[in-house]
Homo-oligomer: A and B are copies of this chain.
Amino acid sequence: MKANTNPAKGMRDITPQEKEVRDYVEGVIVSTYKQSGFELIETPVVENIENLIGSKGGENLKLIFKILKRGEKLDFTKDISEDDLADLGLRYDLTVPLSRFYCNNKANLPSVFKALQVGNVFRAERAQKGRYRSFKQCDIDIIGDGTKAAELELIATTAKALTALGVNDFVVRFNDRRVLKAVILNCGFTEEEFDGVCIVVDKLDKVGMEGVEKELLGKCYNTESVENLMKALKNINENGTECLLEYGVSENVVNEVKEILEISREYANGNYDIEFDFTLIRGMGYYTGSIFEIAYKNLGYSIAGGGRYDEMVGNFIGEKIPAIGFSIGFERLVNQLMDEKFKVPNKEKVVLLFESEDKYIEVMKKADEIREMGYTVSIFEKAKKLGKQLNQFSEYGFNKFAVYSKDETEIKDLASN
């Protein structure tokens, strides 16, 4: 009769203790973002499957959870492929739903729309420790602003949210897809080879220069192009944005990148760092301009990432509207904070104990009285072994207790017991 009581593979139950930390972190992020003028919206976790599949989401498109058609629409005589059988899917990010949302609600939104979204996204990743199939993202996006003001605001505001949580000394890594493209083509690679070359360059921090060269040659790219690229990587690594013009990157783009770095650095005022990193790639195929990440300590992964996706809205409604977003990887951030023994500011939680002969209505009224004093009060029946019971409540996060009495119900510290 026993059933499997585990959550579905890659999914998680959040216990009260964990939930308290998560809600606190989410609250700080959301209130920082709201105070900076970003407006909370909500999109459904379920989207029409064609909007997901047609979204240039890179590798994520292979990880979509697809939902079976229902009723008469499900026809086993005709639907013989995976795509025939599904009409809906779970979102794999918040950016695709936001773009659809913007197009659907454009008439009622400001011409420059600053959106804030917090929600779970779903990817059928291979099960792995610390990698979940359902995870929370906190995104801010600016739709309708093609100027560098958008980049500056997203970077400053995301940094502000992290700082508010006591996360400091992080590094914002910055790059631009247009820079990547110009340099890689300038080295002799073709348009078609671009994505493949990016995937290899992305591994530079793991496999080093030699590893990248070896892998590129192993994939049979033109030897001269590979040689050019290795020289370019070395040059850009040493000289930064200064040498980009040599590789045919347009002056406009170089100036924009320089200005964003410069102003962001001035605004950061030494609290965090911003660096140009030509080896930053970001997997999503929908990015069109600047791309950025936040690296924290030696985590081996970023705790936030984003970029410009100036063509996604256009793909929905044919009208080109610039857009840019920055997403905090909530699970990674919370895990990191919990590893650092992060504590939620303490609250007064009282357990009010009663005995079965007490008049229950009086116990309820007493609890309300204590609540009106500002305490959180939970009512429980007193156990025979009071000491043991109190120890348990202490473990569950209570810090006060009171035993109901008609005459005087005294609130005592749990620890002192």
A: residues with CB less than 8 A from B are: 1-8, 11-16, 19-20, 22-23, 34-48, 50-51, 54, 65-68, 70, 74, 76, 80-82, 85-86, 88, 90, 100-101, 103-105, 108-112, 114, 120, 122, 124, 133-134, 145, 147-149, 152-153, 156, 263, 266-267, 315-318, 349, 351, 360-361, 364-365, 367, 371, 375-381, 392-393, 396
Contact = CB atoms under 8 A, between A and B. Distances in A.
A5 B104 contact: yes
A18 to B, nearest CB: 8
Contacts of A45: 45, 120, 134
A263 B349 CA distance: 26
A377 B36 contact: yes
Across chains A and B, which 4 residue pairs bring their CB atoms closest together, nearest first? A37-B378, A14-B42, A11-B44, A16-B39
Contact of A156 (B4, B13, B85, B364): B364
A46 B122 contact: yes
Contacts of A316: 2-3, 5
A164 to B, nearest CB: 12
A17 to B, nearest CB: 8
Given A35-B371, A45-B134, A46-B8, A67 B70 contact: no
A40 B19 contact: yes
A13 B80 contact: no
A66 B377 CA distance: 40
A7 B152 contact: no
A74 B65 CA distance: 12
Contact of A361 (B86, B105, B263): B263
Nearest to A318: B1
B11 A40 contact: no
B80 A76 contact: yes
A13 B101 contact: yes
19 contacts: A2-B316, A3-B50, A4-B48, A7-B47, A7-B104, A8-B44, A8-B88, A13-B105, A15-B109, A19-B39, A20-B40, A35-B375, A36-B371, A46-B65, A46-B134, A67-B90, A68-B86, A110-B393, A267-B361
Contacts of A349: 37
A293 to B, nearest CB: 21
A266 B13 contact: no
Contacts of A379: 37, 149, 153
Contact of A108 (B15, B111, B134): B15
Given A6-B104, A8-B44, 19 more contacts: A2-B316, A3-B100, A3-B317, A5-B100, A7-B44, A11-B46, A13-B42, A14-B43, A36-B376, A36-B377, A37-B349, A38-B378, A46-B122, A85-B85, A110-B396, A149-B360, A149-B379, A153-B379, A267-B365
